[in-house]
Amino acid sequence: MSVLSTELTLRCNVKCEICNATGELSAYVVAPKTGNLTEEQVALCETCLNQIQSPETADSNHWRCLNDSMWSPIAAVQVVSYRMLQNLSDQQWAQDLLGMMYLDDPTQEWADALSSSTVHKDSNGNILLAGDTIVLIKDLEVKGANFTAKRGTAVRKISLVLDNPEQIEGRVNDQHIVLLTKFVRKTS
Ligand SMILES: [Zn+2]
């Protein structure tokens, strides 16, 4: 982080680009970009900066401002908003906003660049979140349970296998089973 360039000062209008606070602002470089260009930076107030750098301290009330910043036309602001919503995605309001958010492909890649190893994606590359509903896109033999989960079966309220981005869990035929993300499609 550093002082704001003239270009960034003009863009942000001397306000935090996430929460609109005035006061001391820093130029935050949105990794993995290096910040050589103004468009790779976001002007942040101290509160936003501290909580982005230590996401475990995030105060969810402060981050209701994402409701506005997620619609920013500036890609770097979208990326920061998206990542913070993901960080808060154990809360329903954050999940709802993520569901409404639209990023173009380069911006989505930028947003996912740091965490692609832990993001769960369905067969179409859509991000899966805990609580989503998916459908199976092929018949799956469930080993040990002696039944076939049919293609088209809807599975509600999935959970994510946290240390394996290729696996989710859900209930099919009243059995709690592990599903591979490549065989599912998100419907909600
Ligand atoms: Zn702020």
Profile the chain (188 residues) by mean pLDDT over runs of 10 residues.
86 97 94 90 96 88 96 97 93 95 94 75 89 94 86 94 86 91 91
User: How confident is the model at residue 161, as a pLDDT?
Assistant: 84
Query: 29: Cβ–Cβ under 8 A, 6 or more apart, which residues?
Result: 1, 35, 40, 41
Give the right CATH number for 134-186 from 2.30.30.40, 3.40.190.10, 2.130.10.10, 1.10.3720.10. 2.30.30.40
User: How confident is the model at residue 143, as a pLDDT?
Assistant: 79
CA distance 3 to 163: 38
DSSP-based three-state secondary structure for 9: helix
**Around ion ligand 1, which residues have CB less than 5 A away?**
16, 18-19, 21, 45, 48
User: How confident is the model at residue 85, as a pLDDT?
Assistant: 95
Instruction: Tell me, in angstroms, the distance from the centre of ligand 1 to residue 66's CA.
Output: 10
Q: Would you call 161 exposed, middle or buried from its count of C-beta atoms within 10 A (0-12, 13-18, 19+)? A: middle
Instruction: Tell me, in angstroms, the distance from the centre of ligand 1 to residue 19's CA.
Output: 4
Instruction: Tell me, in angstroms, the distance from the centre of ligand 1 to residue 4's CA.
Output: 14
Q: Would you call 1 exposed, middle or buried from its count of C-beta atoms within 10 A (0-12, 13-18, 19+)? A: middle
User: How confident is the model at residue 96, as a pLDDT?
Assistant: 96
Instruction: Tell me, in angstroms, the distance from the centre of ligand 1 to residue 25's CA.
Output: 8
Q: Where in the chain is the domain with CATH 2.30.30.40?
A: 134-186
User: How confident is the model at residue 130, as a pLDDT?
Assistant: 84
User: How confident is the model at residue 116, as a pLDDT?
Assistant: 52
> Phi, psi at residue 90, to the nearest 5°?
-75, -5
Q: How far out from the chain centre does Cα 57 lie?
A: 18
**pTM over the 0.75 mark:** no
Instruction: Tell me, in angstroms, the distance from the centre of ligand 1 to residue 45's CA.
Output: 4
Instruction: Tell me, in angstroms, the distance from the centre of ligand 1 to residue 11's CA.
Output: 15
